[in-house]
Homo-oligomer: A and B are copies of this chain.
Amino acid sequence: MHKASSREVPANGRSRVVIEAVRPEIDCGRFPIKRVTGEAVTVEADLLVDGHDLISAILLFRPAGQTEWFETGLREVGNDRWRGSFNVDRIGRYEYSVEAWVDHFKTWRRDLQKRLDAAQVTAADLQIGSRLVLGAQARAKGEERRRLEQWADSLATVPEPLEGARLGLADELSELMSRYPDRSCSTRYGKQLQVVVDCGRARFSTWFELFPRSTSRLAGRQGTLRDVVTELPRLARMGFDVLYLPPIHPIGKTNRKGKDNALVPAPEDVGSPWAIGSEAGGHKAIEPALGTLDDFRSLVKKARKQGIDIALDIAFQCSPDHPYTKEHPEWFHHRPDGNIQYAENPPKKYEDIFPFDFESEDWFALWEELRDVVIFWIDQGVRVFRVDNPHTKPFRFWEWLIDEVKTRQPETIFLAEAFTRPKIMYRLAKLGFTQSYTYFPWRNTAWELRQYHSRLTRHEVREFFRPNSWPNTPDILTEYLQTGGRPAFMARLVLAATLTASYGIYGPPFEVCENRPRQPGSEEYLDSEKYQIRNWEAEEHNERISDFIALVNRIRRENRALQSDWNLLFYDSDNPQLICYSKRTEDFSNVILVVVNLDPHHPQSGWIEVPAKELGIESDDPYQVHDLVSDARYLFQGPRNFVSLDPAKVPAHVFLVRKRLRSERDFEYYL
């Protein structure tokens, strides 16, 4: 006979519970999930054990760096699935894991009930229970230890089995035993999963983008950071809490682009802010025409006082005049003639831009320098960054940089501007970007919006990808906005502001419904601020929707339901031009129902199908919907209700759902 050779003893051979399919868990735990302070993390796991024994299980969690775990119970929800949750209240990282064990007391108690039902309880059964209680007694302390000893004694000595069963099944004993379980053979899930906890603004934020050089109220003059300061009260009143500035660094002269991206600039042309670096400095300097570092620090402080964060643009690329090109030529690609390689996407050339060579032998010095750029602005008080084209720099680099920065300043918010393929956008979000631009600008029909936003809010993606919806940017004037006039701007504003908790507008042209493209078929603005100074306040404009924007932002601020992404539910309409969805707080104390007419040219009406229960309305009671835009109130009843929206007036309803209607019963003498 083949005699088996002796082997190493496997660890934990007596740990019989296995833990599977723990969720949330991103890419096998490679990446953290995201939350903001005050939110809950709900964790599920499959817990399996051989045989008929019962399991007890806990969810473990702690702020990262803390050695002790907090514990909270997991309860079974069916099909061997267990669930529990904990709240995160500190900015930074948390860890969570799961532990489970065979609970012999719970098993004994269940069996005791069955024996009692079958009139089979014996003294031996009670003695077995007594032994288990004694085990817990040894783990307990003080008064509870004494009480457990009494219970063990009673079970072992009770003369009458029926009376013993009553003792064994007592809730008090059960409660006491649950506090001193035997975890000697417990199973711990092998991974400590991570949560990145951000400040509340990471989830709910309202962005306004402007070019500081276009903020002068005098036609033809260059605006400065001081002019931006004068804009602050107006922006605060309009309800914005993040003011994002395109790069404010010195702009290169070599190969500078002229107006409307002309290859040959006029002498007075100011260049693109994204062509960073001149003899005045690079990524840590400020364009002299905009002001000084002191001006900038002052702007950051004054903005914060009005509840506004200044967001800087991180664009890791250089103009040919950037100091790095001389100090660190090894950080760039070189052409065979020895010159630095400009950016290109053949056959297009971008000769005013040098990309970094992240495959440089000196790559880590480059990484450190770029991190120090961010740290430099953190030290000036900046907490929010919009990152330009992160998908053109290595993923590993960003993961490292964001971790380095958030280790120093965990409140930092990074918005990824990566308009690229979905898996790349998701990867950037997973590796650490706090928020992400989305495909929202190109989702125009009800079906497209519903598909896309359902994907973002109902799928695992929501654990790490926080959408930030922008109806326009300096690069994106959509065809819908070009052709839809004022109603299109209003509709897209309401959609951006209510579909996602964070949204932003490239503000000055949006306020005046600027819709002229550089040429037909292009999404570029005519007379784009990217290449020239505008004076929005000095120019003539036929339209201005600033008050409407302020109203929508006020509705967002006053209705908590609009401050989360996960609570979005779509509803059917018999008119495909009408999109309908709700958002609500978990306790239904705030319920918002939105209907938008997507056709900017014609009034549209139709029936919407909203299960009243999803709005917190029981049965067929009538309920009131209060349009926070028009202040009109309507009575709805049942699942089908009629709406009609004229885009020439306002293309959207933002209803606050009011459950309780006054009736004669509210009169004091009714009863």
Q: Which A residues have a C-beta under 8 Å from some C-beta of B?
A: 1-4, 6-7, 9-10, 12-16, 18, 20-21, 27-29, 46, 48, 50-52, 79-80, 102, 111, 114-115, 117-118, 120, 124, 127-128, 131, 185, 335-337, 345-347, 358-359, 363-364, 367-368, 371-372, 375-376, 378-379, 391-397, 400, 404, 408, 421-424, 427
Contacts and interface: CB of A to CB of B under 8 A. Distances in A.
Among A185, A336, A337, A358, which residue has the most Cβ atoms of chain B within 10 A? A336
A116 to B, nearest CB: 9
Nearest to A111: B346
21 contacts: A4-B368, A6-B368, A10-B400, A14-B358, A14-B363, A14-B394, A15-B396, A16-B396, A18-B395, A18-B396, A48-B427, A50-B358, A50-B391, A50-B394, A51-B393, A118-B347, A120-B346, A120-B347, A124-B335, A124-B336, A128-B336
Contact of A424 (B80, B131, B335, B396): B80
Contacts of A372: 3-4
Closest 4 CB pairs of A and B: A118-B347, A28-B28, A114-B346, A127-B336
Contacts of A376: 1
B359 A4 contact: no
Given A20-B427, A421-B79, A346 B118 contact: yes
Nearest to A357: B14
Contacts of A345: 52
B337 A424 contact: no
A1 to B, nearest CB: 5
A58 B395 CA distance: 21
What is the copy number of this chain in the assembly?
2
Which of A16, A118, A392 counts the most B-chain CB atoms under 10 A from its CB?
Answer: A16
Contacts of A378: 2
B79 A394 contact: no
Contact of A115 (B346, B396, B408): B346
A379 B80 contact: no
Nearest to A1: B379
A13 B347 contact: no
A46 B424 CA distance: 10
B394 A2 contact: no
Contacts of A10: 364, 396, 400
A372 to B, nearest CB: 5
A423 B55 CA distance: 15
A4 B364 contact: no
A80 B423 CA distance: 8
A314 to B, nearest CB: 15
Contact of A13 (B371, B396, B404): B396
Contact of A48 (B120, B124, B395): B395
A371 B4 contact: yes
Nearest to A371: B4
A423 B421 CA distance: 35
Contacts of A4: 368, 371-372, 375, 404, 408
Contacts of A404: 4, 7
A13 B427 contact: no
Nearest to A426: B20
A185 B394 CA distance: 12
A155 to B, nearest CB: 11
B2 A379 contact: yes
Contacts of A111: 346
A587 to B, nearest CB: 33
A17 B128 CA distance: 60
A422 B78 CA distance: 12
B20 A423 contact: yes
Nearest to A335: B124
B347 A117 contact: yes
Nearest to A421: B80
Nearest to A81: B423
A50 B127 contact: no
A21 B424 CA distance: 13
Given A115-B346, A128-B335, 15 more contacts: A1-B376, A3-B375, A13-B363, A13-B396, A14-B358, A16-B358, A18-B427, A20-B427, A48-B424, A50-B358, A50-B392, A50-B393, A124-B337, A127-B336, A128-B336
A630 B3 CA distance: 53
Contacts of A364: 9-10, 13
A430 to B, nearest CB: 9
A378 B3 CA distance: 11
A404 to B, nearest CB: 7
Contact of A12 (B9, B18, B396): B396
Nearest to A376: B1
A404 B51 CA distance: 23
B395 A50 contact: yes
A511 to B, nearest CB: 35
Given A346-B111, A346-B114, A13 B367 contact: yes
Nearest to A46: B423
A483 B423 CA distance: 55
A80 B79 CA distance: 35
Nearest to A378: B2
Contact of A359 (B14, B46, B118, B393): B14
A115 B16 contact: no
A338 to B, nearest CB: 11
